[in-house]
Structure 1
Amino acid sequence: MATPLIQMALDSLDFDATVALAEQVADSVDIFEIGTPCIKHNGINLVKELRSRFPNHLLLVDLKTMDAGGYEAAPFYEAGADICTVLGVSGLATCAGVIGAANACGAEAQIDLINVGDKAACSLACVEAGAQIVGVHTGLDAQAAGDTPFDDLAMIANLGLDVRVSVAGGINSSTIQDVVRAGADIIVVGAAIYGADSPADSARELRELVDAA
């Protein structure tokens, strides 16, 4: 199994602060995620800015598309996004629209399983439609209620799908090696990095833990 990629969630609404944080952690992460509030506030210009500054990093735009999949995602792929997300609860037609837009640009579509009832069935259908990444995602509100992504990750990983599995939901230095061992291909980290006294040091520690797992 290849070493999992680390995805850094950039969630600030401040354009300059987002770029500055990316600069601090770039040496230790593989994917920059422009989080949903961040992309809503800053728009496509932030995609273009990060693409120009970090040509060797993957760039994920967390659109969480719910309708008009291809129409919504296409401009972001054209601006340099490598991955866009679409909500599994949107239905197969919307997911297929984002998949089609991704394919047209040589990029990837990620199915976000947040709030999906039957996560296995959704994953199977979307992978059959051509999705390249399935995202196990425990959102902030669910985390506040005590939920974690670990059971869902194990279930999706055990399906043996020929795609990458991403996992997000409160992952930190004490849990990241467990996530690696559970079969994640992409590990999303947010607050554990941007909430640290030194984001660069925190990102470096997480990189070392993943590489050692």
Structure 2
Amino acid sequence: MKLQLALDLVNIPEAIEVVKEVEAHIDVVEIGTPIINQEGHHAVKAMKDAFPSLAVLADTKIMDAGGYEVMNASQAGASIVTVLGATDDETIKGAVEEAKKQGSEILVDMINVTDIEQRAKEVDALGVDYICVHTGYDLQAVGVTPFSQLTTIKNVVKNTKTAVAGGIKLETIPEVIKAQPDLIIVGGGIANQDDKKAVAAEIQKQMKDAATV
């Protein structure tokens, strides 16, 4: 299992300062959609330049022109690029093809996909690297969590690694770890805490402990 820090701060210097605090305890840093909307791929490059040893995920949420969008994000320094599972297969295929050329990976975000089980089976056959269950901010606000969906895709995916995002925090990490996703994505559960380093370190510890059981 790997730990990804999701950053939705639109202030790049502030985002870099947050990553400095937790760099030793994370594997991937995500440049969130709000930052990309505000700053473009400059934010991806700035983060990769600041932390060359970390993988950078560009949360582009691609819905069309898969190959072109993946090329731009990858050339800016993204190791992983996101595509929406709700898009068509041709867009995902184009993204996968370009990612292979660029040496990057594709994460398919299943946010707002109605039939998670069926779509996960379809996406699993398209050669992507990760399938991610994701509960968005608006649903988190009314108490929805991604855990049942994670179990669903774990049961049907045969080739692709799995990821989970959406309101995950230190208190819910044990439940997430039980499902054994390959990538755990935490945003405010680390970034909004007073002692970010301590929280990230504890999450990392619990993940490592589970891996040795």
Q: Could you state the TM-score of these two structures normalised by the residue count of structure 2? A: 0.94
Partner of 1:207, secondary structure, is: helix
% identity of equivalent residues: 37
* Contact 2:124–2:157, Cα closer than 8 Å, also in 1: no
CA contact (8 A) 1:154 1:183 kept: no
Per the alignment, residue 85 of structure 1 pairs with 82
Say yes or no: does 1:138 pair with 2:135. yes
Find out whether 1:167 has 2:164 as its counterpart: yes
Q: Is the 8 A contact 1:173 1:209 kept in 2?
A: no
Name the structure 2 match of 1:189.
186
Please name the residue that 2:4 is paired with. Answer: 7
Match of 2:69, as an amino acid? E
For 1:158-178, what per-residue CA distance to the aligned partner results, in whole angstroms no more than 9, with x for missing partners?
114222100001111111122
Structure 1 partner of 2:39:
42
CA distance in 2, matches of 1:44, 1:153: 30
- 2-side partners of 1:167 and 1:14: how far apart? 25
Name the structure 1 match of 2:119: 122
Q: Does 1:179 align with 2:176?
A: yes
Q: Which runs of 4+ in 1 moved over 2 A?
A: none
State how 1:35-74 maps to structure 2 within 5 Å: 35-74=32-71
Picking from 89, 94, 106, the partner of 1:109 is 106
8 A Cα contact 2:84 2:108, kept in partner: yes
Shift of 1:152: 0.3
Aligned residues, how many? Answer: 210
Question: Which one-letter code corresponds to 1:93 in the other structure?
Answer: E
Distance in 2, matches of 1:55 and 1:16, equals 16
Q: 1:200 aligns with which of 189, 197, 200?
A: 197
Alpha-carbon separation, structure 1, partners of 2:207 and 2:182:
11
Structure-2 separation of matches of 1:85 and 1:162: 18
TM-score when normalising by structure 1 = 0.94
CA distance in 2, matches of 1:25, 1:39: 21
Q: Any stretches of 5+ residues in structure 2 without a counterpart? A: none
Supply the RMSD in Å over aligned alpha carbons. 1.2
Cα shift readout 1:152-208 (whole Å, capped 9, x = no counterpart): 000111114222100001111111122111121100001111111121121112111
User: 1:120 deviation in Å?
Assistant: 2.0
Give the unaligned 5+ runs of structure 1: none
2: CA distance, partners of 1:70 / 1:46: 20
